[in-house]
Chain A
Amino acid sequence: MKKINISILIIASISITLFSLLFGPSFINPFSLDDISGKILFQLRLPRVVTSFLIGSSLGASGAILQGILRNPLADPYILGISSGSALFAAASLMAGSAFLGPSTTALLAFSGALITCGIVGALGYKDGILLPERLLLAGIGLGFLFTAVLMLFMSLSTNYGMRRALLWIFGDLSMADWSQIPWGVLLISAGLILSISRAKGLNALMLGDEIAHSLGFSPSGERLVFFTSVSLMTATSVALGGVIGFIGLLIPHIVRFLTGSDAKTLIPLSALLGAGLLTLADTIGRTVIAPSELPSGVVTSLIGAPYFLYLLRKKI
């Protein structure tokens, strides 16, 4: 049963991703490409699909990891204040009207904002040299409120149209995806994924509680720091690539657990894969159904994912 579920998840996610290249405002037949459809495929759709795949996989994996290291089933990648931190930084740069780092300025600042927030949350999470889950969680929530408040303050004082646009971008938009940001996106997210999958045993041990993890020969605080770092890296990268997208980080890990169990060796890679598949599907639907306008992918992920999640909830618990 478990093996069948794993194969279905893998095949479904990969085929969704491949087919989504063909769908959009116009259907592309891969066997009769002309100049225009070739351009659409390689310059518009492929980078967008790769971007949604990257974001979805980093959010799915990050959610699975955070729920484990914080031992809280409601944790999602944004619970540590990452989204507010990156929104604040991006907005601040736009208020100053600057593009001093070139065309990717907003993305770069969103990335630094996310990492700085993680740094502060991580530092606040320590007590007596030990990284405590409840402190991390509360520090993240507290800092998130603070940053959101400052952001609201900026917004109410600002008449800048550009900033509003930037904020829309922060809250989830894949339509600007292009090749320029993909190489470092691939690099950072696969680094985070490889690091966490290679430490999957440590995550399993942490899920049993710090005392048992210690007894099994792990340093709970050290393991937590490694996972926290890799989650910070992946989430910051995904926010910079496409803003803040809900649902995936919170609920994909639960769906994977329902279907294939909690063992981190399968939970992390499958959450990444299913997150990638769902976000890519949602984005394809979002840019197809009301073309030429678009539905935000966050809306579509929840519209598809939430009913399925509720169905599983009824069936499995």
Chain B
Amino acid sequence: MENILLDRVTFSYGKKETIKRFSISFGKGEFCALIGPNGAGKSTILKLCSGILKPQSGKIKLFNKDLEGYPSKERAGLVSYLPQLLDTNVSFKVMELAEMGLYPGGGGLSPDEAIGVAGLKEKAGYSITELSAGEKRRAFFAMLLVQGAKTLLLDEPLSHLDIKYQVELVKLLKDIIEKSGITVVMAVHDINTVFQFQKVCVIKDGGLFAAGSPGEIITKELIREVFEVEAENLLPQRIL
């Protein structure tokens, strides 16, 4: 059974069609990167999968049932979403934020554990407005770990993170996937990071351009065609 399945989904903001008859599925335990140029539709796909946006046509299934048919609390146990911009300026404490992960009913880590995992133990009593951009993102991630949904949709979670935390976050996600069999789908901006994923989906102009394991599908030709740059200028030599 797939966690999330999109079947010929079309979505437009106003008149412009952003997502065109898009089909994809994410299964249990998958660790998947969505990659594509700016405006390709990565964020829109994540928002469709989480139910924030509703498609104009096509079907979205969450664990074999229509996504829209779920009561919100039940849905929140199956899929959670972290946006790219965390623009809140409300002075919640890190601990208060982590505890909000319990609102849908809990199911993940305890707030204390999650804060530890996010590397914020020392800052549990700080207001999130006092944190750096990277720490703030980790605080929201702690909330997601407490929520403990079976599918995590993360929109560019690695941006604003120090390279140390990028590596740690990816490692942490792999650990959690291994332990509890959750599914993680994240939009990724930096093509260098996709090689850490099991699966990569390349999005171009609102359609699925290619999908598969990164070693197989990321080629010079693909990079030229999707990103309109020569791979020599982009990737470290070892990959080429």
- Considering only CB atoms, which chain B residue lies closest to A73 in the complex? B89
Decide if B96 touches A212 in the complex (CB within 8 Å).
no
Q: A205-B103, A211-B52, A263-B96 are in contact. Are A216 and B147 (CB under 8 A)?
A: yes
Is there an interface contact between A208 and B100, defined as CB atoms closer than 8 Å? yes
Known A215-B81, A218-B72; judge A261-B92 contact (CB<8 A): yes
* A204, B92: Cβ atoms closer than 8 Å: yes
Chain B residue contacts of A135, Cβ below 8 A? none
Q: Which residue of B lies closest to A68 (CB)?
A: B90
* Least distance between A260 CB and chain B CB atoms (Å): 11
**Are A217's CB and B92's CB within 8 A?**
no
- Rounded to whole Å, the gap between the CB of A302 and the closest CB of chain B is 24
Q: How far is the CA of A100 from the CA of B50 in the complex (A)?
A: 55
- The size bracket of the interface on A is 20 to 34
Q: Is the CB of B104 within 8 A of A217?
A: yes
Closest A residue to B140 by CB, please name it: A212
On chain A, the residues within 8 Å of B100 by CB distance are 201, 204-205, 208, 216
Name A202-231 residues within 8 Å CB distance of B.
204-205, 207-212, 214-219
CA of A86 to CA of B187, assembled, Å: 50
A209, B88: Cβ atoms closer than 8 Å: yes
A218 to B74, CA, bound (A): 11
Chain B interface, DSSP helix/strand/loop, else mixed:
mixed
Judging by beta carbons under 8 Å apart, are A262 and B90 in contact?
yes
Contact B92 A211 (CB under 8 A): no
The proximity string for B residues 60-86 relative to A, scoring 1 for CB distances below 8 Å and 0 otherwise, is: 000000000000111111011111001
For residue A264, give the distance in angstroms from its CB to the closest CB of chain B: 10
Interface of chain B residues 85 through 99 with chain A (CB within 8 A): 86-88, 90-93, 96-97
Q: A257: CB under 8 A from chain B?
A: yes
Q: Is B91 touching A211 in the complex (CB atoms < 8 A)?
A: no
B88 touches A263 (CB 8 A): no
**B93 in complex: contacting residue of A68, A215, A261, CB < 8 Å:** A261
Known: A214-B51, A217-B76, A263-B96. A208 touches B88 (CB 8 A): yes
The answer to the question of B21 belonging to the interface, with a C-beta cut-off of 8 Å to chain A, is: no
* CB within 8 Å of A: which B181-218 residues: none
Instruction: Report how far A172 CA is from B173 CA in the complex, Å.
Output: 58
**Cβ proximity bits B114-149 to A, threshold 8 Å, 1 near / 0 not:** 000000000000010000000000001000000100
Residues of the B chain whose Cβ atoms lie less than 8 Å from the Cβ of A214: 50-52, 72, 81
What A residues does B72 contact at CB under 8 A?
214, 217-219
Bound Cα distance A71, B86 (Å): 13
Complex alpha-carbon distance, A257 and B96, angstroms: 14
The interface residues of chain B lying within 8 Å CB-to-CB of A210 are 52
Tell me the bound Cα distance from A209 to B81 in angstroms: 12
Most chain-B CB neighbours within 10 Å: which of A71, A212, A215, A216? A215
Cβ of B20 within 8 Å of any chain A Cβ, yes or no, is no
**Chain B's nearest CB lies how many Å from the CB of A57?**
22
Q: Is B59 an interface residue (CB 8 A)?
A: no
A212 to B103, CA, bound (A): 12
Query: Could you tell me if A262 and B104 are in contact, using CB atoms closer than 8 angstroms?
Result: no
User: Any chain A CB within 8 A of the CB of B47?
Assistant: yes
- Max chain A C-beta neighbours (<10 A), residue from B47, B86, B91: B91
CA A262 – CA B90 in complex, angstroms? 7
Given the complex of chains A and B, what is the CA–CA distance between A208 and B72 in angstroms?
17
Residue of B with least CB distance to A265: B96
Given contacts A201-B103, A204-B100, A217-B103, contact A263 B92 (CB under 8 A): yes
Q: Which residue on B lies nearest to A204, using beta carbons?
A: B100
Q: Is the CB of A217 within 8 A of B75?
A: yes
Asked if B103 and A215 make an inter-chain contact with CB atoms under 8 angstroms apart, the answer reads no
A215-B82 contact given A205-B100, A205-B103, A209-B87, CB 8 Å threshold: yes
Q: In this complex, what residue of A is CB-closest to B72?
A: A217
When distances are taken between beta carbons in the complex, the residues of chain A under 8 Å from B47 are 211
A262: chain B residues at CB < 8 Å are 90-92, 96
Q: Are B91 and A257 in contact (CB under 8 A)?
A: yes
State the Cβ distance, A59 to closest chain B Cβ, in Å: 21
- What residue in chain A is nearest B79 (Cβ atoms)? A215
CB distance from A217 to the nearest CB of B (A): 3
Q: Complex formed: what's the CA distance from A215 to B152 in Å?
A: 10
| Residues in B neighbouring A219, C-beta threshold 8 A | 72
Contact B88 A215 (CB under 8 A): no
Please state if B52 and A207 are interface contacts (CB–CB under 8 Å): no
Counting chain B CB atoms within 10 Å of each CB, which of A205, A211, A218 scores highest? A211
Compute how far the CA of A214 lies from the CA of B81 in the bound complex, rounded to whole angstroms: 9
Chain B interfacial positions (CB closer than 8 Å to A) = 47, 50-52, 72-77, 79-83, 86-88, 90-93, 96-97, 100-101, 103-104, 127, 140, 147
